[in-house]
Chains A and B, each alone.
Chain A
Amino acid sequence: MKPVEIHTPLDQQTIKNLESGTMVALSGTIYTARDRAHQEFQKLLEAGKPLPFDPSGQVLYYAGPSPTPRGKVIGAVGPTTSYRMDPFTGLMLEAGIRGFIGKGKRSQQVREQLVQWGGVYFATFGGAAAFLHTRVVSSRLIAFPHLGPEAVYMLEVADFPIIVVNDIYNGDLYESAISG
């Protein structure tokens, strides 16, 4: 199966073409954010302040990399379990984010929010963090350095392998897996 190649930021047309189960090779800029970073984002937005980057059409990667060894771009960088970010996803979509990469199931509410706002939830290969580190071209810490591995990193990725789990048509790859 040849993956569909897409670039960030995501536009409407790209999102429309993505269906649950589609393999995708993603290139461009993505932003890491886990539990604590989402809390910080929420505080900023509620105070009427901007996020540390322009969120329009952008993609969040639920990940906290291992420390960068000397001479490398980044350490191991696989996805963390996504449901912990469910309570924040509506807010992120409202702010303009259109893609989320993680692993594991999302709530019914998040699935509805994705349909409503036109966003996509992707999974990548959980636990294949050494492999995924080879698809990261550059990384830069851009916010909340005090959070350590939970800080926000801007990553430049090339052919980062992801799979559409929840599309804008209410499809769900994980559900099809156990009902098929």
Chain B
Amino acid sequence: MADSRIINTTLIRDAIVQLIHEASFQLHPETRTTFIQMRDTEESGIARQTLDTLILNDDIAKAEQVPLCQDCGSVVVFLEIGQQVIIEGEQLNDAIHDAVAHAYEKYYLRKSIVADPLQRVNTGTNTPSFIHIDMVQGDKLGITVYLKGGGSENMSSLHMFRPTASEDEIIDYIVQTVRDAGPNPCPPLFLGVGIGGTADVAMLNAKKAVLRKPGSFHPVDYYRKLEEKILHAVNDTGVGPLGFGGRNTAAAVYIKEAATHIATLPVALNLNCHSLRYRGTIL
């Protein structure tokens, strides 16, 4: 049997505090480059000015240590825990919630979480966070922190297709959803598409999809082409940056597929706003 490795939750806690900080105050350099490329393809004054403003926003957030967006998000935490890892210290969920509360206080981030969906009292700490754990091989622990704003989350969508549905039917549904959402989710979007699995798996994959290494392509040729096709179709809507009109309604489309039942074909959409905030590390 392979040797086990002990990781204390204080390490996990410190890592999460730092990842929240990095994600909240600066875009990934690749995301910024994408904004510049989109700006250069726009003709209308408003579209160009909007993208310039988003680039400037990144500069100011970093220089003045003011968050990129006032909606500092729900904190979604993805852990990939190697089977040889032994976690020591606090209860794992508590350590994560602690890290979130600490980071949101320390960095003056807005606390947007209410304890109950109907009674709606703000917890004042931005906790609980939403934690997803996958067990993997090895003795490492991967952490990804993903900050998701409410306006963009509200435009999420799930459709259960017939298993015989065509690619075009799926594309039409995606285009219609993006057009209907229009300006609401703050385009240009990073559009996560979860295809297959069960309904819940598709939705989760739509989130995981946008966490793909910035600027990278889908490893499967078929899906890489489908992503391109969807991107073109979505950009033909004319919604444009922040819905003011233009060529760039989505910055990228990311598909994450999964096996599914013979009777089902779930398609889930995560209309992530231009403020794509996540960071990851491996312990």
Contact = CB atoms under 8 A, between A and B. Distances in A.
B66 A76 contact: yes
Contact of A126 (B56, B58, B122, B242): B242
Interface centre among A69, A104, A134 (most CB of B within 10 A): A104
Given A76-B70, A103-B151, A129-B70, A177 B245 contact: yes
Nearest to B149: A127
Main secondary structure of the interface of A (DSSP, over half): loop
Contacts, number: 152
A103 B242 contact: yes
Interface in A97-143: 103-105, 123, 125-131, 133-134
B124 interface: yes
B4 interface: no
Interface centre among A23, A69, A128, A161 (most CB of B within 10 A): A128
A65 B110 contact: yes
A127 B66 contact: no
Interface in A53-92: 63-69, 72, 75-78, 80-81, 83
Main secondary structure of the interface of B (DSSP, over half): loop
A143 B246 CA distance: 39
Nearest to A69: B108
Given A66-B109, A78-B69, A123 B275 contact: no
Contact of B239 (A125, A134, A177): A177
Interface in A12-70: 21, 23, 63-69
Nearest to A126: B186
A9 interface: no
A179 to B, nearest CB: 8
B66 to A, nearest CB: 4
B140 interface: no
Contact of A76 (B68, B151, B273): B68
B273 A149 contact: no
Nearest to A133: B66
Given A23-B46, A178-B237, A180-B245, A75 B67 contact: yes
A174 B239 CA distance: 7
Contacts of A66: 66-67, 70, 72, 108-110
Contact of B243 (A65, A76, A148, A177): A177
Contacts of A133: 60, 64, 66
25 contacts: A1-B46, A64-B70, A65-B70, A66-B66, A66-B108, A69-B65, A75-B110, A76-B69, A77-B70, A103-B186, A104-B151, A104-B184, A104-B243, A105-B183, A127-B69, A127-B149, A127-B273, A128-B54, A129-B71, A130-B68, A131-B53, A131-B56, A133-B60, A174-B244, A178-B237
Given A126-B242, A129-B70, A173-B244, 4 more contacts: A67-B110, A123-B183, A125-B53, A127-B57
